[in-house]
Amino acid sequence: MAPWLVPRLFSPALDAQIGGSGLRSALLPSSTSDSTTTSTSSPPSNALPRALPASRAFSTAALAAAAPARSGLRSSKLTRTTAASRLEQTTTHLAFSTSSSASMPPLAKPSTNHYDMVVIGGGSGAMGVSRRAAAYGKKVCVIEEDGRLGGTCVNVGCVPKKLMWHAADMAEHLSEAPEYGFGDVNNKPAVPGFAWNYFAEKRDAYVRRLNGIYDRNLDKDGVEYLSGHGKLTGANEVEITMRGEDGKFTAGTHKVTGDRIVIATGGRPIIPSDDKIPGASLGVDSDGFFALREQPKRVVVVGAGYIAVELAGVFNTLGSETHLLIRHDTFLRPFDPIISETLQDHMSKTGLRVHQKTNITRVEGERGGPLTIHTDNGSPIEADCLLWAIGRRPNTDNLGLEHVGVKLDQGGNIVVDKYQKTNVDSVFAIGDIQGKALLTPVAIAAGRKLSNRLYGHASLKDDHMDYTNIPTVIFSHPTSGTVGLSEPEAVDKFGKDKVKVHTSKFVSMYYGMLEHKAPSAFKMVVGPGDKVVGLHIVGLGADEMLQGFAVAVKMGATVKDFQETCAIHPTSAEEVVTMVPTTHKP
């Protein structure tokens, strides 16, 4: 059995290093005062009052089968046995202990039969909407089934992903240090090996600490946290199948009513079925990436979106032989070409092996062992880990939506209007579940604005999320960011003659001392009236510099506004305000 598929919950060495009293007790707040919980993002959340028992640690079979099993278990009929089985597989798959300390469990049952707002889900959107509603004095409960608050972002998304990116970034800086005069500048020493297991457990401890913080935030705001599965049984009624301390849904069933019901159950990654691609289940999904306890030497990542590019970049930069399989010529195709083309060209030069126009036809091997991956383009690839990053689907199964007539689109997303309201007046949906802009800050903002509109001052009665000009960053190598329209989108919207582009391609000063250089490439897309309608940047520091420029784009700044802003020198960001108009048109 491959060692990277056999994680332990805690490392004795790390436990001793932190203080010898136990990793959980060292990193989670002690629980003598707080009694409930909080939440934040999209898919999982909940909090049992103890760590997972040893019998629930990873099995190789659970790791590879968890995602498809979880999908299959969301049948239209939830029995307590099925719920317990799904939960056990989910927590096993994620291999984290629960978010609460022993003295801070979720409530054993609802404190009342009626709430102003009932929120199903415990991720980012749920946190935003529930805590804001409570701030207006409303009685609110949050129902979460997965054992931890925080959702995808905190548990198996943004937060642990960024920490892995930081580790990979550190590896790059270590390799570059001698050229800046550190160590033996004539005979560059090898970069120290990366202790994946140590870092993964330290990363997970950080995540558990965040889980505990979310728990306490809900408690402080007066939001009730109920650990269980919520299902609509009426337009204003939710049935809660409670989860016991053993992780099984056998702790009783309660029905509560709510003036408003908010669905914020997020989404989950998908893996092809074995019927479609024989052996596909031998791979893991993006959740499974965070379950790896040892670094695989050879990795195949399948997908062309930002998750695939980010995780492939981490593997490659940390030294794994990494193959990225994409169906078309380029990855990141929904982004502006300056991002996809610049990144694909550079990352290919750093050792990432990009297989264009390649699809997997079958996978051979055994769980936990070497895999032979057959494709429709070229020789088979031998790998120790196959990671699918081919998309996500909304968690709309078994929520009782059909019982009350809530409309879904063809992708299974809940259909909402600009106020996050479904076709059922009392039911709302926020976050990934409604299929637009699957980003944590979007879910939080949409949730807060919904509660503002429902319960706030009269001036907030039209408050709603604006889904235009949302900035986002790809934690690639180097990083990249985008806000507004891409060049092709601007041309489609305004016409070719109404669009101008300003570009700047250069090498950051940091690389002036280095033999191997990473590119910087900036593009400003200008629409009618010289308004900046899009900004796309690749290069060192792109992730941090985009936020400020996004404010300007959101405010409708023109090229003149940018150019009349004095540059900060010497920085890469100054290129954004010094790019001169060019004659290039799309």
**pLDDT of 479:** 98
Burial class (CB in 10 A: 0-12, 13-18, 19+), 175: middle
Residue 145 has pLDDT above 80, yes or no: yes
* 391-440 confidence digits (pLDDT tens): 999 999 999 999 999 999 999 999 999 999 999 999 999 999 999 999 99
Instruction: Give a yes or no: residue 518 inside a domain.
Output: yes
Nearest by Cα to 78 from 468, 523, 398: 398
Find the domain containing 572 and state its range: 471-576
**pLDDT of 101:** 38
The residue ranking higher by pLDDT, 301 or 584, is 301
Residues 121 and 260 in one domain: yes
Task: Identify whether the C-beta of residue 373 lies closer than 8 Å to the C-beta of residue 299.
Answer: no
Dihedrals φ, ψ of 367, to 5°?
Answer: -60, 125
DSSP-derived letter for residue 228 is E
Residues 212 and 128 in one domain: yes
Which residue in the list 166, 346, 457, 569 is annotated as catalytic?
569
* 262-279 confidence digits (pLDDT tens): 999 999 999 999 999 999
Residues 405 and 258 in one domain: yes
Instruction: Give a yes or no: residue 35 inside a domain.
Output: no
Residues 253 and 401 in one domain: yes
**pLDDT of 104:** 53
Distance CA 482, CA 473 (A): 6
Query: How many H helices and E strands in the chain?
Result: 17, 20
**Six token digits for residue 338:** 């300056």
Task: Identify whether the C-beta of residue 263 lies closer than 8 Å to the C-beta of residue 443.
Answer: no
Distance CA 546, CA 466 (A): 19
Q: Mean pLDDT, to the nearest integer, of 93-99? A: 36
User: HSE on the CB side for 565, CA within 13 Å?
Assistant: 17
- If residue 548 lies in a helix (H) or strand (E), which one and from where to where? helix 542-554
Ligand-binding annotation for 122, yes or no, is: no
Ligand-binding annotation for 252, yes or no, is: no
Nearest by Cα to 371 from 361, 381, 357, 358: 381
Instruction: Give a yes or no: residue 96 inside a domain.
Output: no
Ligand-binding annotation for 123, yes or no, is: no
For residue 357, give the CATH number of its domain: 3.50.50.60
* 313-324 confidence digits (pLDDT tens): 999 999 999 999
Ligand-binding annotation for 321, yes or no, is: no
Instruction: Give a yes or no: residue 89 inside a domain.
Output: no
Q: What is residue 174's three-state secondary structure?
A: helix
Residues 279 and 375 in one domain: yes
Q: Mean pLDDT, to the nearest integer, of 143-154? A: 94
Distance CA 442, CA 429 (A): 13
**pLDDT of 39:** 36
Phi-psi category of residue 555: left, alpha or beta, with phi > 0 → left and psi -120 to 50 → alpha: alpha
Q: Is 569 a catalytic residue?
A: yes
Residues 289 and 227 in one domain: no
Q: Mean pLDDT, to the nearest integer, of 358-374? A: 95
Ligand-binding annotation for 467, yes or no, is: no
Ligand-binding annotation for 230, yes or no, is: yes
Residues 161 and 239 in one domain: yes
Ligand-binding annotation for 432, yes or no, is: yes
Residue 522 has pLDDT above 80, yes or no: yes
How does residue 483 score in pLDDT terms, banded at 50, 70 and 90?
very high
Instruction: Give a yes or no: residue 343 inside a domain.
Output: yes
pTM of the model: 0.83
Residues 427 and 500 in one domain: no
Distance CA 210, CA 216 (A): 10
Instruction: Give a yes or no: residue 204 inside a domain.
Output: yes
Of the listed ranges 98-102, 262-266, 283-287, 414-418, the one predicted with least confidence: 98-102
| Pairing verdict, β 237-242 and 224-234 | antiparallel
Residue 308 has pLDDT above 70, yes or no: yes
**Six token digits for residue 209:** 């600490």
Q: Mean pLDDT, to the nearest integer, of 92-98? A: 36
Q: Mean pLDDT, to the nearest integer, of 429-455? A: 97
Distance CA 386, CA 383 (A): 7
Residue 35 has pLDDT above 90, yes or no: no
Structural domains counted in the chain: 3
* 317-364 confidence digits (pLDDT tens): 999 999 999 999 999 999 999 999 999 999 999 999 999 999 999 999
Task: Check the CA dihedral 475-478-484-490 and report its sign.
Answer: negative
Task: Check the CA dihedral 302-303-306-307 and report its sign.
Answer: negative
Ligand-binding annotation for 560, yes or no, is: no
Ligand-binding annotation for 307, yes or no, is: yes
**Six token digits for residue 554:** 């959101």
Residues 386 and 289 in one domain: yes
Task: Identify whether the C-beta of residue 266 lies closer than 8 Å to the C-beta of residue 287.
Answer: no
Instruction: Give a yes or no: residue 102 inside a domain.
Output: no
